[in-house]
Amino acid sequence: MHLLESGEMYLETIWVLSRKQPRVRSVDISEYMGFSKPSISRAIGLLKKGGFITVSPDGNICLTDIGYEIAEKIYERHTALTALLIKLGVDADTAAADACKMEHDISDTTLGAIKRFIEK
């Protein structure tokens, strides 16, 4: 199953939330992303069907191995792009917002070059 940008955003959100709290539920995702509960429910259903997440009977959402891999990759891209933009003089809020838009289309080659540049 091919994952769209919105699916990547949901996986990244689940990854981030799972680092901050012991359980991730649909309501947590809704609050974090600012999306309606029906939108979250639809996305959760698609991610579950695609094998990217599991949902326990009590509503706890967990990333599968492939879901975790994708989420971690998107988060890595987000943090690297944010750091680059801040290094270029962009304020932190704008850098984070712009990185969120850019993280889904950047190649691994370009990301590697950005990471090497930031480390200098």
Rounded to a whole number, what is the distance in angstroms from the first to the last CA of the chain?
38
Domain range summary for the chain, segments of one domain joined by +: 5-69, 73-119
pLDDT tens-digit readout, 91-115: 999 999 999 889 888 899 999 999 9
Q: Flag whether pLDDT at 53 surpasses 90.
A: yes
How would residue 120 be classed by pLDDT, with cut points 50, 70 and 90?
confident
> Distances in Å between the alpha carbon of 97 and those of 38, 57, 61, 92?
24, 34, 25, 9
Q: Flag whether pLDDT at 4 surpasses 90.
A: no
> Which pLDDT score, from 0 to 100, does residue 5 have?
83
Fold of 5-69: Arc Repressor Mutant, subunit A (1.10.10)
Give the range with max mean pLDDT: 3-7, 19-23, 102-106. 19-23
73-119: CATH architecture = Orthogonal Bundle (1.10)
Q: Flag whether pLDDT at 2 surpasses 70.
A: no
Beta carbons within 8 Å of 21's beta carbon, 6+ residues apart = 28
Task: Report the chain's mean pLDDT, rounded to a whole number.
Answer: 93
* Cα–Cα distance for residue pair 112/38, rounded to 1 Å: 37
> Which pLDDT score, from 0 to 100, does residue 1 have?
58
* Cα–Cα distance for residue pair 8/58, rounded to 1 Å: 24
Triad 12, 15, 19: Cα angle to 5°: 140
Beta carbons within 8 Å of 112's beta carbon, 6+ residues apart = none
User: pTM for this one?
Assistant: 0.85
